[in-house]
Structure 1
Amino acid sequence: MNERLLTTPVIMGNNSSVTPDSMACSHDDDAFKYRAYTYSYLLLFPVAFLSNVGALAVFFLQRNRRRSASCVVMVNLALSDGSFSLTLPLRLAYYFRGGVWDFPDWLCRVCVFGFYINLYTSILFLTLLSMLRWIAVAQPLRHRSLVTPTRTLLVCVGVWLFVGVSSTPFLSNGVNNRAGFPRCFEPSSPSSWGRVLILNYVALVLGFLLPFLTIIVCYSRLVRRLTADSTIHGGCSGGGQALSGASIARRRNRRRSVQLVSMVTATFLLCFLPYHVIRSLHLHAVCNGWSCAATVALQRATVVTLCLAASNSVVNPLLYYYSTRTFRDNMRDARSSLMSNRRGSMVAMKRRNTT
């Protein structure tokens, strides 16, 4: 279920024991794995770090617009992605060293733990954001009274606690020795794969399938509601300038809602769905003694899909920008405030120099 599944798997029978025949199916695919992770993390780290730190700066600089429930969720999402990006330099150092872990054991555990914290908090925060959008469109009056920033913050804290407690099994195994070198992100022992398969299905159901089904239900109703509204208002288009302005505002709201639907759905389909499907197949190949060719192919596919899953940390900032007008306004306001502060400091320096 974690990155430890991606290195040197040993095929086991249904009794989860390693036989001499299954040892012949062991393989060392470090070259492919290290190249894939190195290139991916080299691209992801600067973009994920800068974009999420920039997003947090925009959110926190604009105090008057921090009081919306959606903004609270997006701040937590940016915190999750930004903290995950801080672990990428450690991963890069490990792969640049050819799979030698020169850092403390607890850092290895934190890196594995951090990946799954980011993965499943991102999924749940995107689900929460989708539910808020649905309530705002379908029941706007109830949204104003029911959905408050304080309640939303409490829900976000609950998400952090739930994912953190559920991911604690990944803290149990740290650095392992293989070929005389300390390794991280590798299997601890063949006997643990059956337990990992069970954990995989728990995460698959609670961390992916239920949120994904929730998003599908919310968005199908949201699209139906937007389509019905456009049909109703499209038949009443002759109401003068005031009605024209109102229809323009409704059209903008519909466009932002459609953008949110499209981007969240694309994130699930491109980042989260392939990883969960391939990870489950790879675990079954290892635990149930599939052919060596199938196991090797699934191992490589798991490496690629894990890189796609990690890329959600750079996709989410695009979600903030393209789906929310408030974030774009915040960026303009933050840029203007920074420019005005810079001009003020330059004027103050000139005055000091002249005096």
Structure 2
Amino acid sequence: MINRWTLKDKMNDCLVTPLTPATNNTTARFHEDDAFKYHAYIVTYLVVFPVAFLCNVGALVVFFRQTSRRSSASCVVMMNLAISDSSFSLTLPLRLAYYIRGGEWHFPDWLCRLCVYGFYVNLYSSILLLTLLSLLRWLAVVQPLRHRSLATPTRTLFVCVGIWLFVGVASGPFLTNGVTYRQGSPRCFEPSDSTSWSRILILNYVGLVFGFLLPFFTIIFCYSAIIRRLMASSGPQGSSLASHSRTRNRRRSVHLVSMVTATFLLCFLPYHLIRTLHLHAVCGGWRCDVMLNLQRGVAVTLCLAASNSMVNPLLYYYSTRTFRDSMRDAHSSLMSSRAGSFRNRSYLQNRRNTT
């Protein structure tokens, strides 16, 4: 790894500021890179913010209405997921304002720090909560007796609180990265100097190991064990009612673990891979074209990671039968109330016409 002064010179050569006249291809490519990154974030956050906020707040309403389901360990985890995603979505309007203004931060410094911190807290709390959800499903399928005794809502809530504390403390260093100035313009979401890049590289490996690789291999273990157990017990046993119940539980388990695995592969794996390569490119002084292409890759994969907050509600819907039933009941109640209001208005209008 090159020293901090060489790194600073290398960054200055590659990341020419937009206020510098375009005198070479590197400068022009940086203009294109900023425009590409900002457009990608704007489009993504314009979609993610309303969908993630409305879907997760709606999911919380459904969960709180399910009095019996609140005694379920899985429901406790899903409620924590919905809280994490809805909280993260509230930071997206600030990010949108920043990128729409061309990368100038006109809000307080503490809001910049909170937005950076909130992204990583949401990212890794989602990963660990999804892992916990898969472990609960694995325990329910492979060791149902232990699941009944161990996976109580109270114990699950304590585990969720432990996850929040671990992620909150581990993400604490990102609170130190606030507003910086580049060519006189206030910037957010950008490391301030070469020391910051080196520190982020270290934090990247902490997040990569404890926040992605260990959870990912845990997910693969759970998926493999569940599939083996379901394949081994696929034959018809007992009454048709019991067989139907087992088939329904198998389908729900496969849906849950399959969707969690797909979320890891689509939302989390590309981001961690490209982010690690990009940080090594910056700290290792790789060629400028490689560095800038990786920076574009980070922008795209970060958009995929942020979209996780609007994917999780699909997991609640397709993996939880009672959640679907509650959604249908809420929709039926809404339609009935609208129909009743329409009939009342029609009745009053007819009475006015006859008097």
- Using a 3 Å threshold, how does the CA distance of structure 1 residues 336 and 150 change in structure 2: closer, same or farther? farther
| 1:174-225 superposed Cα distances (whole Å, 9 cap, x missing partner) | 1111121111111111122112111110110000001111111111111100
Query: Which sits farther off after the overlay, 274-283 or 15-24?
Result: 15-24
Q: Which residue of 2 aligns with 1:91?
A: 95
Q: Distance in 2 between matches of 1:26 and 1:116?
A: 25
Once the two structures are superposed, the pairs formed by residues 252-291 of structure 1 within 5 Å of their partners are 252-291=248-287
Counterpart residue number, 1:146: 150
Q: Which residue of 1 aligns with 2:84?
A: 80
| Equivalent of 1:182 in 174, 181, 186 | 186
Match of 2:163 in 1: 159
Is the 1:282–1:302 contact (alpha carbons within 8 Å) kept by the matching residues of 2?
yes
2:186 alignment partner, SS class: strand
Residue number in structure 2 paired with 1:25: 14
* Alignment counterpart, residue 168 of structure 1, candidates 166, 172, 175: 172
- Identify which of 105, 110, 113 aligns with 2:114: 110
1:15 equivalent in structure 2: 3
Equivalences for residues 240-255 of structure 1 within 5 A: 243-255=239-251
Residue 9 of structure 1: aligned partner: none
Q: Counterparts of 2:87 and 2:10 in 1: how far apart (Å)?
A: 43
- Residue equivalent to 2:227: 223
| Aligned residue type for 1:322 | Y
Structure-2 residue corresponding to 1:5 = none
Distance verdict in 2 for CA 1:77–1:301, change over 3 Å: same
CA RMSD of aligned residues (A): 2.2
Displacement, 1:169? 0.3
Residue 347 of structure 1, CA deviation:
10
Q: Does 2:137 match 1:127?
A: no
Equivalent position amino acid for 1:280 in 2? T
Q: Which moved more, 1:315-324 or 1:339-348?
A: 339-348
What is the aligned partner in structure 1 of residue 320 from structure 2?
324
Aligned-pair CA distance for 1:339: 5.8
Paired residues, number: 334
Matched, 1:43 2:52: no
Task: Specify the code of the residue in structure 2 equivalent to 1:260.
Answer: L
Partner amino acid, structure 2, of 1:25: C
Please give the alpha-carbon distance, in whole angstroms, between the structure 2 residues aligned to 1:215 and 1:85. Answer: 26
Deviations 1:75-126 (A, max 9, x none): 0000000000001111001111111111111000000000001100000000
- Stretches of structure 1 that go unaligned for 5 or more consecutive residues are 1-12
Question: Are 1:298 and 2:286 an aligned pair?
Answer: no
Q: Please give the per-residue CA displacement for 1:312-348, whole angstroms capped at 9, x wherever unaligned.
A: 0011000000111121122123344556777899999
Percent of aligned pairs sharing the same letter: 71
- Against the structure 1 CA distance between its residues 59 and 188, is the aligned structure 2 distance closer, same or farther, given a 3 Å change threshold? same
CA positional deviation for 1:26:
2.6
- Runs of 4+, deviation exceeding 4 Å: 19-22, 336-351
> Normalising by the residue count of structure 1, what TM-score does the alignment of the two structures yield?
0.88
1:182 counterpart SS class = strand
Change (3 A) 1:163 1:22: closer
- Greater CA deviation, 244-253 or 286-295? 244-253
270-279 or 253-262: bigger deviation: 253-262
1:8 is matched with none
1:100/1:183 contact within 8 Å kept: yes
